[in-house]
Amino acid sequence: MANADLMDKLVSLTKRRGYVFQSSEIYGGTGSVWDYGPLGVELKRNIKDRWWSAMVHQRDDIEGLDAAILMHPRVWEASGHVEGFTDPLVECTSCHRRFRADLPEIEAGQCPTCGTRDSFTEPRMFNLMFKTFMGPVEDSSATVYIRPETAQGIYVNFLNVQGAARQKVPFGIAQIGKAFRNEITPGNFIFRTREFEQAEMQFFVKPGDDEEWFERWMEIRMQWHVDLGIDESKLRFHAHGSDELAHYAKHAYDIEYEFPFGWKEFEGIHNRTDFDLVRHQEYSGKRLEYIDAPTNERFVPYVVETSMGVDRTMLVVLADAYREEEVEGEARVVLGLSPSLAPIKVAVFPLVKKDGMPETAERLSAALRAASIPSFYDQSGAIGRRYRRQDEIGTPWCVTVDGQTGEDGTVTVRDRDSLEQVRVGVDHVVAWIREHLA
Ligand code: ATP
């Protein structure tokens, strides 16, 4: 399948089946903002829940936080974003579209939209932060920024969390939240958007221990993606050269995936040194030092950051799961999502609408709902068509109540990938699904 085709197919499938909709579509859409529909919101939650479990619940050295989006404007001066969070921007004098000056087409001298050659304005620096006003007066003293990353909310709360949770360095703070960037050239569906979600963890260590922790976090984070079921041959690290390093970073590695449009970053691991905490000390006039209990040694910790885009990870998961194949002489589309990520875990079908089959199937559906297992009941159309509709959205198991159910109390459980069918007692389906989800 051609790569461009795959993106088109994903956009259309995810819209049709309720994963992703364009924001404000009835008004012609908002530039690069997307809404997650009934299945999309489940997939996204499942990704975030797995991240939270691995980073917070399964560790005793990381605490959670949910900091506000709006922060004191000085935060963004201290962080360097007011001054430095800029991209060079050029405008095509023919079609008046604006682009990042470092796009390959622009560097080659051709407008990506209208094709006109060598008709660009001089590059001008453009700050990517959205601004708004706080309070009733709209003047510059009321300007606040809408956060472009979640990390700063963690830094300014570093001592609050450390003291309240009685953590000792090394320890981390994890947060999932929205971030906003007025990207000049957004695109590729949910890959680069103007509103997105980040799952970030800042790990505070003693200076000198940073390199070791950096390596440890690289390994842990890569393994997490492998455990999501992502094809390992499509995952790699990319080290930032000195020309790519952000102003705060000593070392940075991206975790990249081979998207249909090429190898691109979807998580960054950064050694941010003591840059952010030292700057916040300077700008706030408050000490942000850690005091080591037995020795009374004071220091500003170094920070190793893991920063994952939730929406980009969702695109990785969807692109990696999509496949087209022929089974039993018929073409089918499958989202081979790992069962723990699939929005719907099990579909329930009566084979036909008679002989008590719908009643048994409905009782099973009710039992699944009572067990909080996301399920879907479908009694319309040929059984093959019902299977295909579930394959296409990634449902791992379909349970069918058939003629034999009335005789021996068993149903068939069909596996999405192997197509194998096993018979399970109807009263054991909930336990069977739980066991296979674990
Ligand atoms: P890029 O170079 O692609 O703009 P970045 O290096 O600026 O990304 P970071 O600031 O390191 O990205 O942000 C960490 C993560 O947040 C990225 O790996 C990505 O998954 C996500 N992210 C950043 N910008 C966007 C965006 N505009 N849309 C969606 N996700 C984003």
Give 332-341 pLDDT, tens digit per residue.
999 999 999 9
**Per-residue pLDDT at 4 exceeds 80:** no
Supply the pLDDT for residue 99.
Answer: 84
Specify the amino acid at residue 2.
A
Supply the pLDDT for residue 384.
Answer: 94
pLDDT digits 0-9 by tens, 296-313: 999 999 999 999 999 999
The pLDDT value recorded for residue 247 is 76
Q: How do residues 114-153 score in pLDDT, each as one tens digit?
A: 888 988 888 888 888 999 999 888 887 889 999 999 999 9
Mean pLDDT in residue range 189-202: 97
Nearest CA to ligand 1 atom 13: 307
Over 80: is that where the pLDDT of 212 sits? yes
> Hey, whose CA ends up nearest to atom 23 of ligand 1?
309
229: helix, strand or coil: coil
Structure confidence at residue 165 (pLDDT): 97
Band of the pLDDT at 214, cuts 50, 70, 90?
very high
For residue 156, give Cα distances in angstroms to 65, 188, 202, 249.
11, 34, 12, 18
Instruction: Check residues 293 and 174 and name the one with the higher pLDDT.
Output: 174
CB contact at 8 A, 425 and 434: no
Is residue 188 packed enough to be buried (19+ CB in 10 Å), middle (13-18) or exposed (0-12)? middle
Contact (CB, 8 A) for 410 and 401? no
pTM of the model: 0.92
Rounded Cα–Cα distance for residues 199 and 210 (Å)? 21
Long-range residue pairs from 378-386, CB within 8 A, at least 24 positions apart, any chain: 378/347, 378/348, 378/349, 379/349, 379/350, 379/353, 383/349, 383/351, 384/328, 384/330, 386/347, 386/349
Q: Per-residue pLDDT for 56 more than 90?
A: yes
Q: What are phi and psi of 252, to 5 degrees?
A: -150, 135
Q: Rounded to an integer, what distance in angstroms lies between the CA atom of residue 189 and that of residue 311?
A: 10
Q: Is pLDDT above 70 for 85?
A: yes
Mean pLDDT of 93-99: 80
Please give the helix or strand (H or E) that residue 172 lies within, else none.
strand 171-180
Atom of ligand 1 nearest to the CA of 198: 16
What is the 232 CA–ligand 1 centroid distance (Å)?
A: 21
Q: Are 375 and 343 in contact (CB under 8 A)?
A: no
What CA–CA distances, in Å, run from 33 to 29, 159, 280, 314? 8, 35, 32, 15
Q: Whose CA is nearest to atom 8 of ligand 1?
A: 265
- pLDDT for the residue numbered 91: 82
**pLDDT of residue 253 exceeding 90:** yes
Return the ligand 1 atom nearest residue 200 CA. Answer: 14
Q: What's the average model confidence in pLDDT over 309-333? A: 95
How far apart (Å, rounded) are the C-alpha atoms in residues 132 and 5? 39
Helix or strand holding residue 50 (H, E): helix 38-52
Torsion on CA atoms 281, 286, 289, 294, rounded to nearest 10: 170
pLDDT of residue 157 exceeding 70: yes
Q: Which residues line ligand 1 (CB under 6 A)?
A: 149, 181, 183, 192-193, 196, 198, 265-268, 307, 309, 311-312
Evaluate the omega torsion of the peptide bond into residue 170 and state whether it is cis, within 30 degrees of 0.
yes
Ligand 1 center from residue 39 Cα (angstroms): 24
Maximal C-alpha separation, the chain = 79
- Name residue 150's amino acid: T
Cα separation, 267 vs 254, in Å, equals 6
The protein residue whose alpha carbon is closest to atom 21 in ligand 1 is 309
Question: Strand 235-239 to strand 195-205: parallel, antiparallel, or no bridges (unpaired)?
Answer: unpaired
d(C-alpha 185, C-alpha 277), whole Å:
31
Looking at the chain, the whole-number percentage of residues with pLDDT higher than 70 is 100
CA dihedral angle for residue 424, residue 429, residue 435, residue 438, rounded to 10 degrees: 130
Strands 62-64 and 171-180: parallel
Residue 104 pLDDT: 86
The mean pLDDT value of the chain amounts to 94
- Ligand 1 midpoint to CA 149 (Å): 9
pLDDT given at position 1: 65
For residues 29 and 395, the model is more confident at 395
Distance from residue 378's CA to the centre of ligand 1 (Å): 40
Q: What angle do CA 406, 407, 409 make, to 5 degrees?
A: 70
Indicate if the pLDDT at residue 250 is higher than 90: no
Q: Which atom number of ligand 1 is nearest to the Cα of residue 312?
A: 20
Mutate which of 201, 265, 272 for ligand 1 pocket (most atoms within 8 A of beta carbon): 265
Q: Given a cut of 80, is residue 385 above it in pLDDT?
A: yes
